[in-house]
Chain A
Amino acid sequence: MKKKTLTAAIFIVLSTALLLWPMAGAKVQAADKIGWVGPVYKELSASLTAGFKAYYKKTYGKDVDITFVRPGGWPVCLDKVRAWGGKPDADIFLGAGAPAHEVLKKEGLIVPYQPKNSDKVPADWHGMKVKDKGDYWTCFAPWIVTNLYNEKVLKRLKLPPPKTWNDLLDPIYRGNIVHTLPYASGTMHETIEILMQAFGEEEAWKYLRLLAAQLARFSTGSTDTTQLVARGEVPIGIAQPQMNAMAARKDGFPVRDLLPEKTILVPEAVALLKGAPNEKVGKIFLDWLFSDDGQKYVLEGRYFASNTDISFSKWEKEGVEMATHAQKALGVDSFWDLKVDFIEYDLDLATKRWDEVNRKYEYEIYRKWGELKSSLFLIEDVEGEIAAAKDAKMDVAKADAKIKEARKLFEIDGNYPAARLAASKARALLVAP
């Protein structure tokens, strides 16, 4: 009995010691901490975590614990920071474009800090801001709202890559284009907004109607678009975050970026939160992020790096795997070598009419997709007949006027049945003027 008690006592002491031992050990060498919050993809956070941990261990001889919260898209992340009310549970706001960071700045949720090397990031580019003048936020991973295509399939179909928004309307691409619904993807929504702001509303809706007739189908989201293009099922995809082409290449798919002539830059940025509990480590992270080492991990995380002194071919030699894919996807040696023409993007306007634009697209184009196509195809048929009649020296004046009316009904009013009717009348006028 006594022996048993003794054994039990020893056992208890030993096991308690065993339990407490790691805690005591941890106290001696407490790991430093840092927290990130933001909407970046998982690949980027994983890559940055690995890179920063290695760097910290090497430089400070200590481990660093990294927590990363991604509660949702950027509006949700923003709400999260607001909810923390000045006592954030993280130190760094990682990711999201200028709009999010402008709100953070306006609401006093971030503090200025100029990371070392961030002078290598341009202040602005073709009229779009890349970092804040007051150093509140700095872009570390720029990308452009873009399109992409499958080079293998286009080559096989003997089609040249379309260069401009208008090229996409060429009948040779009919049935070879895909995009998603604006309410299923923020990037698609922004593309519509870009078209509206670049070409004017009337022209943009006309364009969208004509583009819809070119589509093979609608995809379920912007990554679904990437997938369809990557596998060649539909060779051209509209409204893509620019990194998707590079990521698809990484997986072995012959996909290339198809930069449209009018678009916008999304300067995926980083900022130090006000009241950050680990401000010191936060600053170390920001300095590292813009170092050559940090930027490599950004690229390995499938985002483009922001420093201007980067060349993909040099990095390729240094063994950065994604550099090859980045170069092949973009067709240039540095992100900043891209030839772009950005529009002046009115974010307030875009935000205000977000739902309205989505609904207009849904009601006027998506829901009537079948009618839209049959209407346009009839108009095109009759136009062909009128052209043939003209060649045969027939009197086509009346029919010509009528078919123009049909075009207008289709393009401007989006009244597809009326456009069909007008086209039928034009055809009748051709036979019996």
Chain B
Amino acid sequence: MSRGSISLAALLWLVIAFLVLYPLSILIIESFKIAATGGWGIGNYLEFFQDAYYLKTFLNTLYLSTLVLVTTTVFGIPLAYILARYRHLGKTIFTALILLPIVLPAFAGVFAFIIFFGKYGTVNLLLMDIGLTEQPINFIYGLHGLVFIQALHMLPFIVLGLSAGFTNIDPSFEEAAEVEGASGFRRFFTITLPLCTPSYLAGAVLVFLWPFTDWLTPLILGQVDFLPSVSYINISYHFTDVHRKYMGIVAVVVSSVVCISLFLLARWWVEKKKYTGLSKGTTSEGRVIEPSAWVKSGAYVYMIFIAILVLLIPIVLGLAAFSRRWVFEPFPTYWTLENFRLILLESPGLIKNSFLYSGIALVFGIAFGLPVAYLIVRTRVPGRDALDFVITLMLAFPGIAIGVSYLLAFWKGIPLAQYWIIMPIALFARRLPYFLRMAHSSYLQLDPSLEEASEVSGAGKVRTFFNISLPLLLKGVLVGVVMFFIMAFQEISTAVFLYKGGWETLPIGIYLNWHRGMEFGIAAAMAFLMIVITFILLLIISRIGGGVLKAAWGAGEN
């Protein structure tokens, strides 16, 4: 333990104290306020746990989380395996497509599926037109629709985690199993999968927490009895009923506590099973297999199936973006560029804001995230677990809670919320864990002896980091950087509470135009624009980054 790492830790702690501890403690304080008397107490919590309705929403949320996790895992394992291990054409395109849902604000996907699968959406209208059905089929309103939409949205996290795991496993482990005579399936379940546990859990935790955070998808689908939606309604729409607001905050705090406990459980598991391979430095592509023709065509069919589901989002939004008056018709009949004209001429600032805020947040994120990952995994600085714990809090806390707490904390005393810099700061704080998780699990897989060797040879800590650790970490770090920017770009739950006129980002523009109900075409056009921008961004990075990025996504050479 050097003095350098202690002062580094102190600096990072200062940032955390200011951006996380202070606002969140204000949120918790609020939850103990009693509306009726104006005093303090645990009355709100007692009510929460004695009220059958809140308990029901709580159990609903837990149930939904489980369903979403099971669904993403079942669909994600084969997908990640195909992407990481099989040699096939169009790997980059498939990978990009499967990652697409996370570049979109969750609700843009919901809108697309409502237009397509809704009660009088394209599919139902076509079915009724050709006379297959009399009444519209309920495809998405209900738990099944919620699981479908949330699972598709979160699938990339499982796939990213697992395929990084599949790629990073030292091939010699599997080869050893093969030599010992383990068959394909046995090897997969006894060697490959267990070795991927750390990277799987990194993604799985995010997936499991999602239903505790996503307030908008249930609301749009008319399924309100889930904790985050109930909190949102209670906090946002309390009018004069202050008690309702406090109950909303209590719901937020309760769900956060659940999430943190589950998260700690997962982390304890990862730490218990530290998997590291010595030869990590020598292979960057991992193990690539040439499967049999049957397996390969099966793999293609499977990937195309998922890709079509994902592609529906940009296609449907695109149709809506280039048309108006799309009502009760399977496909639009009135085509126009009016929506884009309105966006580009009347509100180009939205696009600029999105890039500016996410970019600044990303710079903050890297400057903060790499040292934190280093401290947590490689040093024995006291309080490093606490540092990780606190940063993870930001994952567990729903965006609305962060938005509200920032508004409370940075309005009067420290009037940060009156300047636009609050937007990138909030994005940074909210999305930090996405970068950190990836850097963290990459660090776990990097054997310390490589760094020790460098230090023994006389290189300083900083030089070792840049010459040895960083290049080896690059996969994880690049995944983290891409993820972070993407997540900051589509953030809405926090931003929607903090933005002022002129600070709107693209997701807020989509939300406002959709929710105000009258400019549905503009909302679709904005969402479409967002997909295009992000997709171009991904392609540019993958061209510049070449093999590195492909490797980062778990893809082999074509």
Which residues of A come within 8 Å of B, CB atoms? 150, 152-153, 156, 181, 183-186, 216-221, 223-228, 230-234, 244, 247-248, 250-254, 354-355, 358-359, 367
Known contacts: A183-B239, A227-B520, A355-B240. The answer to whether A253 contacts B118 by CB under 8 A is no
Q: Besides A227-B514, A231-B520, 12 other CB < 8 A contacts?
A: A152-B328, A183-B238, A184-B233, A216-B222, A220-B515, A225-B517, A227-B516, A228-B517, A230-B520, A244-B518, A252-B324, A254-B327
The residue in chain B whose Cβ has the minimal distance to the Cβ of A251 is B518
Give 18 A-B contacts (CB < 8 Å), ordered by A residue.
A181-B237, A183-B233, A183-B241, A183-B244, A221-B515, A224-B517, A226-B517, A231-B327, A233-B118, A233-B120, A251-B325, A251-B520, A251-B521, A252-B324, A254-B327, A354-B239, A355-B240, A359-B241
Complex: A150 Cα to B517 Cα, angstroms:
13
| CB of B219 within 8 Å of the partner chain | yes
Which residues of chain B (483-524) have a CB below 8 Å from chain A?
A: 514-521
| CB of B187 within 8 Å of the partner chain | no
| CB of B334 within 8 Å of the partner chain | yes
| CB of B220 within 8 Å of the partner chain | yes
Which residues of B come within 8 Å of A, CB atoms? 53, 114-115, 118-121, 141, 219-220, 222, 224, 233, 237-241, 244, 324-328, 334, 514-521
B310 to chain A, nearest CB (A): 23
Q: Are A230 and B517 in contact (CB under 8 A)?
A: yes
A312 to chain B, nearest CB (A): 19
Contacts of B53 in A (CB 8 A): 367
Q: Are B517 and A248 in contact (CB under 8 A)?
A: yes
Contacts of B514 in A (CB 8 A): 227
B374 to chain A, nearest CB (A): 44
A329 to chain B, nearest CB (A): 12
Q: Are B325 and A253 in contact (CB under 8 A)?
A: yes
Contacts of B518 in A (CB 8 A): 223, 226-227, 230, 244, 247-248, 250-251, 253
Contacts of A228 in B (CB 8 A): 517
Partner of B224, one of A216, A218, A232, A358: A218
Contacts of A252 in B (CB 8 A): 324-325, 334, 521
B85 to chain A, nearest CB (A): 43
Q: Are A223 and B241 in contact (CB under 8 A)?
A: no
Contacts of A225 in B (CB 8 A): 517
Partner of B327, one of A216, A232, A250: A232
Q: Are A223 and B517 in contact (CB under 8 A)?
A: yes
B375 to chain A, nearest CB (A): 42
Partner of B324, one of A150, A153, A227, A251: A251
Q: Are A230 and B237 in contact (CB under 8 A)?
A: no
Contacts of B334 in A (CB 8 A): 252
The residue in chain B whose Cβ has the minimal distance to the Cβ of A185 is B237
Contacts of A253 in B (CB 8 A): 325, 327, 518
> Which residue, A248, A250, A367, has most C-beta atoms of chain B within 10 A?
A367
The residue in chain A whose Cβ has the minimal distance to the Cβ of B326 is A231
Complex: A227 Cα to B516 Cα, angstroms:
7
B544 to chain A, nearest CB (A): 41
Complex: A203 Cα to B517 Cα, angstroms:
32
Complex: A178 Cα to B340 Cα, angstroms:
31
The residue in chain B whose Cβ has the minimal distance to the Cβ of A358 is B241
Q: Are A223 and B239 in contact (CB under 8 A)?
A: no
Complex: A392 Cα to B516 Cα, angstroms:
54
> Which residue, B53, B141, B239, has most C-beta atoms of chain A within 10 A?
B239
Contacts of A254 in B (CB 8 A): 325, 327
Q: Are A153 and B241 in contact (CB under 8 A)?
A: no
B contact face: mostly helix, strand, loop, or mixed? loop
The residue in chain B whose Cβ has the minimal distance to the Cβ of A354 is B240
> Which residue, A152, A185, A252, has most C-beta atoms of chain B within 10 A?
A252
A242 to chain B, nearest CB (A): 14
The residue in chain B whose Cβ has the minimal distance to the Cβ of A43 is B518
Contacts of A231 in B (CB 8 A): 115, 118, 326-327, 520
The residue in chain B whose Cβ has the minimal distance to the Cβ of A255 is B327
Contacts of A221 in B (CB 8 A): 237, 515
Q: Are B328 and A183 in contact (CB under 8 A)?
A: no
Complex: A382 Cα to B118 Cα, angstroms:
32
The residue in chain B whose Cβ has the minimal distance to the Cβ of A249 is B518
Contacts of A251 in B (CB 8 A): 324-325, 518-521
B453 to chain A, nearest CB (A): 58
Contacts of A355 in B (CB 8 A): 239-241
Complex: A232 Cα to B118 Cα, angstroms:
10
Q: Are B328 and A223 in contact (CB under 8 A)?
A: no
Contacts of B222 in A (CB 8 A): 216-219
A404 to chain B, nearest CB (A): 29
Contacts of B519 in A (CB 8 A): 251
Complex: A150 Cα to B222 Cα, angstroms:
19
A76 to chain B, nearest CB (A): 11
Complex: A156 Cα to B121 Cα, angstroms:
14
Q: Are A223 and B515 in contact (CB under 8 A)?
A: yes
List 9 A-B pairs, minimum CB-CB distance, nearest first.
Answer: A217-B222, A227-B517, A252-B325, A226-B517, A223-B517, A184-B237, A355-B241, A252-B324, A232-B328
A116 to chain B, nearest CB (A): 33
B209 to chain A, nearest CB (A): 22
The residue in chain A whose Cβ has the minimal distance to the Cβ of B223 is A217
Complex: A186 Cα to B237 Cα, angstroms:
10
Contacts of B141 in A (CB 8 A): 216-217
Contacts of B520 in A (CB 8 A): 227, 230-231, 251
> Which residue, A156, A183, A225, has most C-beta atoms of chain B within 10 A?
A183
Known contacts: A233-B114, A244-B517, A252-B334. The answer to whether A152 contacts B233 by CB under 8 A is no
Complex: A184 Cα to B121 Cα, angstroms:
26
Contacts of B240 in A (CB 8 A): 354-355
Contacts of A224 in B (CB 8 A): 515, 517
Complex: A183 Cα to B233 Cα, angstroms:
8
Q: Are B327 and A150 in contact (CB under 8 A)?
A: yes
B507 to chain A, nearest CB (A): 17
The residue in chain B whose Cβ has the minimal distance to the Cβ of A229 is B517
Complex: A359 Cα to B242 Cα, angstroms:
12
Contacts of A184 in B (CB 8 A): 233, 237
> Which residue, B119, B244, B515, has most C-beta atoms of chain A within 10 A?
B119
B228 to chain A, nearest CB (A): 13
Contacts of B120 in A (CB 8 A): 153, 232-233
Known contacts: A224-B517, A248-B517. The answer to whether A153 contacts B327 by CB under 8 A is yes
A173 to chain B, nearest CB (A): 14
Complex: A358 Cα to B244 Cα, angstroms:
11
Complex: A183 Cα to B326 Cα, angstroms:
31
Complex: A150 Cα to B120 Cα, angstroms:
12
Complex: A355 Cα to B239 Cα, angstroms:
9
The residue in chain B whose Cβ has the minimal distance to the Cβ of A219 is B222
The residue in chain B whose Cβ has the minimal distance to the Cβ of A189 is B239
Contacts of B326 in A (CB 8 A): 231
Complex: A260 Cα to B459 Cα, angstroms:
81
Complex: A152 Cα to B329 Cα, angstroms:
10
Complex: A224 Cα to B107 Cα, angstroms:
14
> Which residue, B324, B327, B516, B518, has most C-beta atoms of chain A within 10 A?
B518
Q: Are A227 and B239 in contact (CB under 8 A)?
A: no
Contacts of B224 in A (CB 8 A): 218
Contacts of A218 in B (CB 8 A): 222, 224
Contacts of B121 in A (CB 8 A): 233
